[in-house]
Chains A and B, each alone.
Chain A
Amino acid sequence: SQTIHQWPATLVQPVGSPLSLECTVEGTSNPNLYWYRQAAGRGLQLLFYSVGIGQISSEVPQNLSASRPQDRQFILSSKKLLLSDSGFYLCAWHGTRYLWVFGPGTRLTVL
């Protein structure tokens, strides 16, 4: 079965510092991978998706970027964090049309 790992689980970073969140997937190959963000008390907003190595599509303009260096690895980055980057970041895997799996999430607090 497919498993998604995210780390770190929690992160507290100062404003202006860099960010790197990692997502890895097990049990599948050539997955579609996604980054969602959830601000406190709000719904999930799609940030990036990737259909293959080196292929990144951005859904909203922002302070973040994504990369896919390996088939089962998806990374979310920032050069300089803003307060508004705080939130719960979820990685998701999309297999067949009707199969979506979410990771455990990373809670990011920017101070």
Chain B
Amino acid sequence: GESVGLHLPTLSVQEGDNSIINCAYSNSASDYFIWYKQESGKGPQFIIDIRSNMDKRQGQRVTVLLNKTVKHLSLQIAATQPGDSAVYFCAENSMDSSYKLIFGSGTRLLVRP
């Protein structure tokens, strides 16, 4: 069924520290995953994606790790900046339901100056 979001947990980090945001996905058949950043009043913004044939992918200051065994996804943000403050969502997609992008419950990231 749908992974309908719960009230958002919050991660508070000091500016300059690394942030790790976790996500548990629901469908073992999912083979494509996306991390989105959403700022207040705006639509989700693509950050990074990963396909299931990989367990790690790096972007600029961001790294996504995929553990298919336990259906877990994480987003690591290096040297977190105030502009990183937002809500972060993971989303999953599977070949057998390739038309559906299912969102996990988000995490609010607060960066302390």
Query: CB distance A102 to B2 under 8 Å?
Result: no
- CB of B61 within 8 Å of the partner chain: no
Question: Are A44 and B103 in touch, CB under 8 angstroms?
Answer: yes
- Grouping DSSP codes into helix (H, G, I), strand (E, B) and loop, the A interface class, with mixed when no group exceeds half, is strand
Residues of chain B at interface, number, CB under 8 A: 31
Size bracket of the A interface: 20 to 34
Q: From known contacts A98-B49, A105-B43, infer whether A43 and B99 are also in contact, taking CB-CB under 8 Å.
A: no
Bound state CA distance, A44 and B45, in angstroms?
13
B44 within 8 A of A: yes
Residues of A at under 8 Å CB distance from B? Answer: 32, 34, 36, 38, 41-46, 49, 51, 59-60, 88, 90, 92, 94, 97-98, 100, 102-105, 107
| B residues neighboring A (CB under 8 Å) | 2-8, 32, 34, 36, 41-46, 49, 51, 89, 91, 93, 95, 98-106
